[in-house]
Structure 1
Amino acid sequence: MNETVNLKTLYASDKPLTLAIMAMGGQGGGVLADWVVGLAEEQGWMAQSTSVPGVAQRTGATIYYIEMLPARDGVSPIFSLMPTPGDVDIVLAAELMEAGRSVLRGLVTPDKTTLIASTHRSFAVGEKEKPGDGIGDPTVVVGATDFAARRTIAFVMDTLATKNGSVISASMFGALAAADVLPFPKEAFEATIRSGGKGVEPSLRAFNAAYERAKTKPRDEVVALPPKHFDTMPETAGHPDLDRLVHRMRAEFPEVAWPLLFAGVKKLTDFQDPAYAAEYLDRVGKLHALDRVNGGEDRDYAFTVQSAKYVAVAMAYDDVIRVADLKTRGTRFNRVAKEVGVKQDQILYMTEYMHPRMEEVVGTMPKRLGLWVESRPKIFAWLDRRINKGRRVQTGTLFWFLTLYTLAALRRIRRGTLRHLRETEHREAWLNIATSFLSRNYDLAVEVINNRRLVKGYSDTHARGLSKFDRVMSALTTLADREDGAAWMKRLRQAALLDESGIALDGALKTVSTL
């Protein structure tokens, strides 16, 4: 028996309302998707949620895709499993660059899509691996989303959620409710959160805060770089030794250098002690005297200002003592606990990955002993085979905390270590080169000071930085007497900061060699 089946009686032909959520691990994207589906079903709609996870940490967010339709008796909708470019009504991005990715994928279209995004940043691996500033320009993303979306709601939802003791998914749910793009009342959104049964009150606080924010000020202004902020130098620091340092800065240096000098004094007092900060002022004072007699006043003391910055950086080098100090500070434990949202009835453990080399161990030794070990390759190699290995250190356990705390206490003898001797020698050689150019090429001398930016970190990172520093400085013989020498030196430094392997620097040095 043959029957003719009318497909229209079995399947709905209405177009579903489509929604895509782009969130990284820990941002509650799955919870947000469940809330949206639960909300729709409670309101008599049919909904389906699917997800496609990112392949690795911060190489791509998980995409949660939801389609929904009002339920109809006897009609079974067929929902798609994946978003189709040009056919998504609502996109929620839990981070600014994920909003940009959604535009690149074609999920955001000007005639259709409402884009709801948090403007905070969680930096991608590609951004963090660059030795210099590899951060993507957020203003480019904002410009793209303004062009691509029919409507955009964008503000810092992550901070808003944290202030209310919740996670960003609750803030995004509030912004979604405020956008009025789903045909459900606000009370229905709140009821969906309550039905979850966990963390209800913090989630509701974050939801309502974001709802009000989206209604009153739906957009935040995004800038390419955050404004630099320096603490104002006080009249008194509340301690005799520190007060003397403040008085010296005011009496011996131009006002234009005060912000960086004050920052340097604070950094070096924290790194070592007030006496070490006084040594810093002594050294910068000598540089300022040379700057003054070589026409520095006419150039707004650019040499002194940059010296105030980078001499402090050079003197506060990263060594084993510094690393151990930072990892055992109570403020660090409190900060991490706050960042991960530890509750009062929970215990936090942090696992550090450390890979010490014999070079770091020798650097921590008194200089005579360190030189003795270095001069005996067999002893050095024998010790290195036992030390040079990766370790996972739980700083919350008594053994490892006391081990690192003991290392941090070595700051009292830091001035007598081999590492301090090497850092001092390198610093003085660098500053002597810079001052030798003051009378010949002032701008080039300033760029030589700025080259210290290439040296950072410890262990392998420090070694690579020193190598790049030396290679950039090797161009001085070519650039010394050129009017555009400073500009070329700056280009070389920027090339060195582009990639870890130094490929861009290789090309830049070849260009300079042809000048």
Structure 2
Amino acid sequence: MSERTQLHPGTPIKIAILAMGGQGGGVLADWLVDMAEHAHWWAQTTSVPGVAQRTGATIYYVELLPESDVAAAGRQPALALMPTPGDVDLVVSAELMEAGRAMQRELVSPERTVFITSSHRSYAVGEKSAPGNGISDPNKVIEAGRECAKRFMCFDLQALADKAGSVISASLFGAIAGSGALPFTREDFEETIRRGGLGVENSLKAFANGFEAAHNAPEQAELLDLTRPMPEVPTSAKHASINKLLDSIRQDFPEVAQPMLVAGLRRTIDFQDVAYGRQYLATLKELNQLEAQHGGADKQWSLTVAAARYVAVAMAYDDVIRVADLKTRGERFARVQKEIGVKEGQLIYTTEYMHPQLDEVCGTMPAPLGKWILNSAGMRRVIEPFCRKGRFMQTGTLSGFLLLYSLSGMRRFRRSTLRHQIERKSLDAWLDLVRKTLPIDHDLAVEIVECRRLVKGYSDTHVRGSSKYLKLLDAAQHLSGKPEAAQKLRQLRDAALADAEGKQLDAMLQQDRLALA
């Protein structure tokens, strides 16, 4: 028994497990109950489900009481059905932000709680749908865990489970054993897994990984390294045409911009073809030469670096063809199967929710035809009723897959579509403004490039982002030549990214009298 385990006669050990759907919180709770009962303890588990997978995890609550205490009391125990704030011995979280929720609920206390959490993230809907970077800072949770718990352990238990070819419930079980928070031996834990009879070998490997991580955990949980290394410039590629483009990156561009240029080249080639990647580099080369004429070296080539990213984003826009391509890729099916733990011999069918709008449908057509339909009131009346409701499609079936696969094959005709003409016109207007501004105000030109981050996604998301983006470009033209123009445009962009509706941006534009008529 670990020195950290403290039993109070007549008082059960109280355990709270926070896990989302699919993370095996119920399995973990059942393992704890099974282990305790085989050791002749009284055990009970209950669960309090969250509203949804990412608006609140299910809380599994376990109470364990030695048989000797029950015998001494002379009656069967009355165990609680849910955790009480400040009265939990062990809190286990299968994901880092759920650890934050546990502390918000005051389940963790510095006087008694051993707190174990995985450091990996499953992003909330609000984080993924934010106009800007909505990802919460995970280190704030770790810092709070250091303060709130008697002992706090945090490491990537999902990675340890993946390494063993198992699921996170097994590595969490191992971390509990390695922490010494419960008065059971390692053999007790391992025999529990063996009694389960499913995936025993891999589960035991994941258990061992979690055990070692917790047993050797530092007294203070370490903060996560949030830096993202830039991609390296490859020395060669499989195709000679791509080798020439890589040579161009190394020879024609400053070193500081090369990693982002490699990322942009990969994106544009993946989106369309090698010729499209060549067009991307030609655009960047022209911008880099212009920046060189206006103090680019003194500014650490900030415009070229920013443009390397956002020109690629603008050229590789999200259209129906792109969505169909991504949804029918083999690696996507493999990733989904891995995430849900599909076993050999099992079949999985992924149901896609598709809701293309009339503009998106016409965008895949040849430009003259698409324009004619959009400008024809009669044709709109005929087609729009079919675009009012979403469609559910199973990409695992032959008919569903072939439909999307055929759509993805239309990328060979993409340059002739209405959507490509629209995007090309938008790209040219944006770059013209950058070229016009650069000789006047280098910093403002960089901020104009950064404004492109507002344009993303498709359907309503694309419409909202594009609307705010156009307002920022109009504001940039008004700001050109004025003091602190770059700082002001940055503030406006931050306001645009702060909320999806753009209310903060509109308020600032109205205040500064920069709103469009």
* Fold conserved between structures, TM > 0.5: yes
Kept after mapping to 2: 8 A contact 1:478/1:513 = no
* 1:491 match: 491
Shift of 1:465: 1.1
1:398-437 matches, within 5 Å, as 398-437=398-437
Kept after mapping to 2: 8 A contact 1:109/1:150 = yes
Query: Are 1:284 and 2:284 counterparts?
Result: yes
Q: What's the Cα RMSD here? A: 1.8
- Normalising by structure 1, what TM-score? 0.94
CA distance in 1, matches of 2:60, 2:238: 55
Choose the corresponding residue for 1:14, options 10, 15, 25: 10
Kept after mapping to 2: 8 A contact 1:59/1:124 = yes
CA distance in 2, matches of 1:124, 1:39: 33
* 2:29 match: 33
- Normalising by structure 2, what TM-score? 0.94
Kept after mapping to 2: 8 A contact 1:475/1:512 = no
* 1:6 match: none
What per-residue deviation string (whole Å, max 9, x for no partner) do you get for residues 350-388 of structure 1? Answer: 111000111111111111211222221211231122244
Shift of 1:272: 0.9
Shift of 1:236: 2.3
Distance 1:220 1:152, change over 3 A: closer
- AA in 2 matched with 1:336: V
CA distance in 2, matches of 1:121, 1:222: 14
* 1:446 match: 446
* 2:189 match: 189
* 2:370 match: 370
* 1:48 match: 44
- AA in 2 matched with 1:269: I
- AA in 2 matched with 1:46: W
Question: Segments of 4+ in structure 1 off by > 3 A?
Answer: 217-223, 510-515
CA distance in 1, matches of 2:28, 2:329: 36
Corresponding residue pairs, total: 503
SS in 1 for 2:298: helix
* 2:256 match: 256
* 1:4 match: none
- AA in 2 matched with 1:424: R
Kept after mapping to 2: 8 A contact 1:23/1:63 = yes
* 2:4 match: none
CA distance in 2, matches of 1:238, 1:13: 69
Distance 1:197 1:238, change over 3 A: closer
CA distance in 1, matches of 2:514, 2:371: 41
Moved more, 192-201 or 300-309: 192-201
* 2:231 match: 231
1:60-139 matches, within 5 Å, as 60-71=56-67, 72-73=70-71, 74-139=74-139
* 2:351 match: 351
- AA in 2 matched with 1:221: E
* 2:461 match: 461
Kept after mapping to 2: 8 A contact 1:156/1:220 = no
CA distance in 2, matches of 1:221, 1:361: 50
What per-residue deviation string (whole Å, max 9, x for no partner) do you get for residues 376-419 of structure 1? Answer: 12112311222442111111111111111111111111111111
Identity of aligned residues (%): 51
Query: Are 1:222 and 2:223 counterparts?
Result: yes
Shift of 1:319: 0.8
Choose the corresponding residue for 1:23, options 9, 19, 24: 19
Moved more, 444-453 or 248-257: 248-257
What per-residue deviation string (whole Å, max 9, x for no partner) do you get for residues 213-242 of structure 1? Answer: 21223576333x732233322232232211
Shift of 1:477: 4.2
* 1:3 match: none
What per-residue deviation string (whole Å, max 9, x for no partner) do you get for residues 3-38 of structure 1? Answer: xxxxxxxxx972221111111111111111111111
Kept after mapping to 2: 8 A contact 1:21/1:92 = yes
Kept after mapping to 2: 8 A contact 1:50/1:64 = yes
Kept after mapping to 1: 8 A contact 2:152/2:221 = no
SS in 2 for 1:510: helix
